[in-house]
């Protein structure tokens, strides 16, 4: 990508205030908090996060965490469902790790105090979601994310040896002798950026749903981690695969309120404007088909009807059950004027989850030594072209736990003295200029939604690339001094990577649908697209 700046600001580390730790963790969602909890007893850990500790996508998770727990289930079945949903691009080795280590990760969560719903017998209750061949979703009502997030936050706060900094924005990585040795950071109470040196850095910055007009992702999901890693020279993979969730509540809220797939797991129907259950006959699992398939059928139904939503029908499910099992959704729909037991609720597809990200191996190692990634910002290969529902929280748990296992070997490769000797200078030739950052973000969302949304084409993607480049030409020349401007630069970087990869992939697979190449082409495209700063051409690989 020719016009991405090397860093977002110019700096010289020797002129700035410096702090240091063994391990720098960026992000306080399930991935960042799990990494901190696993490693603080052995390493001096600093955890930085852009907002308050609880401001994460993790907090909003509704459906739950997938894990094979019932007698009828097994890691093998979970493996098969994950591979099937991923449309031929899941990395088998990574998926094996995920399903085999799921149970231990769940036991860890329970021992920390996460209170999953249980039947009177004491057994954990399991729910069903799209693409799963049986019930395997552990949940706490419809607020599983906030239960997990609160528990992990309490634990981290109780560890006095974890240094936590909220409202702290990480701008860029520090790279010394081809190793990530820390980050350059904006702290709320400091006028100048601060240098954080570390022997290893774990990136856990979540997704990039804010690139779209309509999304479930919280405002902080601006793709910072992917942009930072790309600028620092790490490989980025599978970014053409953006998952749209079939059922966002159709109203004006931003982010859109999600209506969990678990409702369809309890029997809710999708109906078009004429009242037809349009998923029946399209897929053997009907409303519980994998998300990419349901979303495309919703788009077709909306087109047929000339409407921008379809309907979720829960009126045949007993009211007591709806109120007890989905109390938050029940209340929220009521606030919008819909009674789940009487009314059909208008819903539409919403940008929800980035399958791709910073490429890692099964121990979270990125291609840049010293830099690890976990959670939604990472691409471990477990989601392939389409994530199986409720595998994301699990991914954060399992893979953040694995980073800790190999840190010992890696962290020893560089000494504290060597790092603090690093005298790094980076120039940036931007000018200060006042622009309406929110308006520019909105413009970008319009472009991404129109041309890099559920249905893409060569023409549209080329148009998107021209428009994004024009915005980049304007915005990358500016030296911002506030978070919104830096987020805009990150969003533009990730948007371009996504549009480029989507243009390169001349087929349809999972969440990536091309109207001009509507078939899956295994002989040519059963491979990953890897992008790296400075590479003239993308790399292709059969495995992550
Ligand atoms: P997050 O939880 O998003 O945390 C990212 C962290 O990084 C935040 O603390 C943020 O402040 C910080 N950060 C970002 N940029 C910077 C920066 N520049 N500097 C410093 N800090 C930064 N998945 C499931 O498996 N099951 C579900 O039921 C489910 N339901 C969902 C419902 C909703 C509404 C949404 C939006 C997602 C849902 N998902 C679900 C997906 C899942 O919640 C997320 O993928 C997962 O929680 C991501 O965790 P994470 O730790 O990677 O990132
Ligand atoms: C949902 O509850 O429908 C979301 C689950 C997920 O994104 O995995």
Ligand 2, atom nearest to 389 Cα? 8
**Confidence class of residue 544 from pLDDT cuts 50, 70 and 90?**
confident
Q: Per-residue DSSP letters for 56-119? A: SHHHH--S-EE---STT--HHHHHHHHHHHTTT-S-HHHHHHHHHHHHHHHHHHHHHT----B-
Residues 165 and 49 in one domain: yes
Quick check: CB of 390 below 6 Å from ligand 2?
Answer: yes
Q: What are the residue ranges of helices labelled H in 476-511? A: 483-504
Q: Which of 2-6, 160-164, 277-281, 375-379 has the lowest mean pLDDT?
A: 2-6
Mean pLDDT computed over 328-354: 97
Q: Contact 377/228 with Cβ under 8 angstroms? A: no
Residues 296 and 437 in one domain: no
**Confidence class of residue 400 from pLDDT cuts 50, 70 and 90?**
very high
Here the tokens at position 411 are: 């962290």
Residue 2 in any domain: the answer is: no
Here the tokens at position 507 are: 């087929």
**Confidence class of residue 384 from pLDDT cuts 50, 70 and 90?**
very high
Angle of CA points 264, 265, 269, to nearest 5° = 25
pLDDT above 90 for 422: no
* Boundaries of domain holding 84: 18-241+353-420
Q: Which of 10-14, 400-404, 511-515 has the lowest mean pLDDT?
A: 10-14
Cα-flanking dihedrals φ and ψ of residue 108, to 5°? -60, -45
Q: How many CA atoms lie within 13 A of 399 on its CB side?
A: 36
Q: Contact 414/66 with Cβ under 8 angstroms? A: no
Here the tokens at position 338 are: 């819909």
Mean pLDDT computed over 383-412: 95
Residue 290 in any domain: the answer is: yes
Domains in the chain, number = 3
Rounded to the nearest whole angstrom, what is the distance from the C-alpha of residue 260 to the centroid of ligand 2? 6
Ligand nearest the Cα atom of residue 58 = 1
Beta carbons within 8 Å of 440's beta carbon, 6+ residues apart: 471, 475, 488
| pLDDT value of residue 150 | 98
Residues 333 and 199 in one domain: no
Quick check: CB of 256 below 6 Å from ligand 1?
Answer: no
291 is catalytic: yes
Quick check: CB of 62 below 6 Å from ligand 2?
Answer: yes
Sheet holding 236-237, edge to edge: 378-379, 357-359, 236-237, 528-531, 539-541
Provide the percentage of residues in the chain whose pLDDT is more than 70.
Answer: 99
pLDDT above 90 for 3: no
Ligand 1, atom nearest to 207 Cα? 3
Residue 504 in any domain: the answer is: yes
Residue 7 in any domain: the answer is: no
**Confidence class of residue 254 from pLDDT cuts 50, 70 and 90?**
confident
pLDDT above 60 for 2: no
What is the b/e burial string over 233-254, where b = at least 16 CB atoms within 10 angstroms of the residue's CB?
bbbbbbbbbbbbbbbbbbbeee
Residues 36 and 162 in one domain: yes
Ligand 1, atom nearest to 205 Cα? 7
> The CATH number of the domain where 532 resides is what?
1.20.58.100
pLDDT above 60 for 328: yes
Mean pLDDT computed over 159-186: 96
d(CA 176, CA 468): 31
Residues 336 and 285 in one domain: yes
Here the tokens at position 154 are: 């309490």
Beta carbons within 8 Å of 288's beta carbon, 6+ residues apart: 128, 129, 130, 131, 132, 261, 264, 265
d(CA 232, CA 91): 25
Note the pLDDT tens digit of each residue in 52-95.
Answer: 999 999 999 999 999 999 999 999 999 999 999 999 999 999 99
Closest C-alpha to ligand 1, atom 26: 390
Q: At what angle do helices 392-411 and 92-112 cross, to 10 degrees?
A: 100
What is the b/e burial string over 44-75, where b = at least 16 CB atoms within 10 angstroms of the residue's CB?
bbbbbbbbebbbbbbbbbbbbbbbbbeeebeb
Q: Contact 116/140 with Cβ under 8 angstroms? A: yes
Mean pLDDT computed over 18-42: 97
Residues 194 and 301 in one domain: no
| pLDDT value of residue 421 | 76
Residues 211 and 357 in one domain: yes
The Cα-based distances of 248 to 227, 452, 487 in angstroms read 27, 19, 25
Mean pLDDT computed over 478-491: 96
Ligand 2, atom nearest to 390 Cα? 8
Nearest by Cα to 206 from 185, 233, 219, 225: 225
Domain end point (choices 420, 439, 457): 420
d(CA 45, CA 156): 11
pLDDT above 60 for 258: yes
Quick check: CB of 347 below 6 Å from ligand 2?
Answer: no
Q: Contact 290/130 with Cβ under 8 angstroms? A: yes
Rounded to the nearest whole angstrom, what is the distance from the C-alpha of residue 280 to the centroid of ligand 1? 32
Residues 183 and 279 in one domain: no
Q: Which of 1-15, 104-118, 123-137, 193-207 has the lowest mean pLDDT?
A: 1-15
Nearest by Cα to 412 from 79, 19, 23: 23
Q: How many CA atoms lie within 13 A of 120 on its CB side?
A: 0
Residues 205 and 291 in one domain: no
Residue 437 in any domain: the answer is: yes
Rounded to the nearest whole angstrom, what is the distance from the C-alpha of residue 258 to the centroid of ligand 2? 8
> The CATH number of the domain where 303 resides is what?
3.90.700.10
Domain end point (choices 393, 420, 447): 420
Domain end point (choices 294, 319, 349): 349
Catalytic residue among 136, 231, 291, 402: 291
Rounded to the nearest whole angstrom, what is the distance from the C-alpha of residue 352 to the centroid of ligand 2? 9
Mean pLDDT computed over 506-512: 98
Rounded to the nearest whole angstrom, what is the distance from the C-alpha of residue 333 to the centroid of ligand 2? 17
To the nearest whole number, what is the mean pLDDT of the chain? 96
Provide the percentage of residues in the chain whose pLDDT is more than 90.
Answer: 92
pLDDT above 70 for 1: no
Residues 306 and 358 in one domain: no
Residues 166 and 228 in one domain: yes
Mean pLDDT computed over 104-130: 97
Quick check: CB of 205 below 6 Å from ligand 1?
Answer: yes
Mean pLDDT computed over 484-511: 98
Q: Which of 7-21, 98-112, 424-438, 488-502 has the lowest mean pLDDT?
A: 424-438
Q: Of all residues in the chain, what percent are helix, strand and coil, respectively (each to 5)?
A: 35, 20, 45
> The CATH number of the domain where 212 resides is what?
3.50.50.60
Residues 184 and 78 in one domain: yes
Nearest by Cα to 85 from 288, 304, 222: 288
Mean pLDDT computed over 185-199: 96
Mean pLDDT computed over 230-237: 97
Quick check: CB of 49 below 6 Å from ligand 1?
Answer: yes
Ligand nearest the Cα atom of residue 387 = 2
Residue 10 in any domain: the answer is: no
């Amino acid at each position: 990508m020719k016009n991405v700046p090397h860093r977002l600001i110019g700096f010289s580390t020797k002129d700035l205030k410096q702090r240091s730790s063994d391990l720098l963790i960026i992000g306080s969602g399930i991935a960042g908090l799990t990494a901190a909890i696993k490693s603080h007893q052995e390493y001096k850990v600093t955890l930085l996060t852009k907002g308050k500790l609880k401001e994460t996508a993790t907090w909003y998770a509704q459906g739950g965490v997938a894990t094979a727990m019932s007698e009828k289930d097994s890691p093998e079945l979970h493996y098969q469902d994950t591979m099937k949903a991923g449309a031929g691009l899941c990395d088998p080795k990574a998926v094996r790790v995920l399903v085999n280590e799921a149970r231990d990760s769940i036991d860890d969560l329970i021992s920390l105090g996460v209170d999953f719903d249980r039947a009177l017998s004491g057994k954990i209750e399991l729910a069903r979601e799209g693409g799963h061949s049986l019930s395997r979703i552990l949940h706490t009502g419809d607020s599983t994310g906030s239960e997990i997030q609160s528990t992990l936050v309490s634990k981290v706060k109780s560890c006095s040896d974890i240094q936590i900094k909220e409202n702290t924005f990480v701008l860029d990585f520090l790279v010394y002798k081809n190793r990530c040795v820390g980050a350059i950071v904006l702290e709320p109470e400091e006028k100048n950026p601060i240098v954080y040196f570390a022997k290893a850095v774990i990136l856990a910055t979540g997704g990039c749903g804010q690139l779209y007009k309509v999304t479930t992702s919280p405002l902080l999901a601006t793709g910072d981690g992917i942009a930072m890693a790309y600028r620092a020279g790490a490989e980025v993979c599978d970014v053409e695969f953006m998952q749209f969730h079939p059922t966002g509540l159709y109203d004006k809220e931003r982010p859109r309120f999600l209506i969990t797939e678990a409702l369809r797991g309890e029997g809710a129907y999708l109906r078009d404007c004429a009242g037809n259950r349009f998923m029946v006959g399209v897929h053997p699992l009907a409303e519980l088909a994998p998300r990419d398939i349901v979303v495309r059928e919703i788009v077709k139904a909306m087109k047929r009807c000339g409407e921008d939503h379809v309907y979720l029908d829960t009126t045949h499910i007993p009211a007591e059950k709806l109120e007890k099992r989905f109390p938050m959704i029940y209340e929220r729909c009521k606030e919008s004027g819909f009674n789940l037991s009487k009314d059909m609720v208008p819903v539409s597809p919403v940008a929800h989850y980035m399958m791709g990200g910073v490429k890692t191996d099964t121990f979270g190692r990125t291609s840049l030594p010293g830099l690890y990634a976990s959670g939604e910002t990472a691409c471990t290969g477990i989601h392939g072209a389409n994530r199986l529902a409720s595998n994301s929280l699990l991914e954060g748990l399992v893979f953040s736990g694995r980073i800790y296992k190999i840190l010992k070997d890696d962290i020893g490769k560089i000494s504290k003295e060597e790092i603090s000797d690093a005298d790094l200078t980076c120039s940036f030739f931007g000018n200060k200029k006042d622009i309406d950052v929110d308006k520019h973000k909105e413009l970008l969302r319009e472009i991404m939604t129109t041309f890099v949304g559920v249905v893409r084409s060569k023409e549209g993607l080329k148009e998107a690339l021209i428009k994004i480049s024009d915005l980049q030409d304007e915005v990358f020349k500016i030296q911002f001094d506030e978070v919104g401007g830096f987020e805009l630069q990150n969003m533009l970087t990730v948007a371009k990577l996504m549009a480029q990869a989507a243009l390169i992939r001349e087929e349809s697979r999972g969440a990536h649908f091309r109207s001009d190449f509507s078939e899956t082409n295994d002989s040519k495209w059963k491979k990953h697209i890897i992008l790296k700063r400075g590479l003239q051409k993308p790399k292709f690989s059969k495995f992550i």
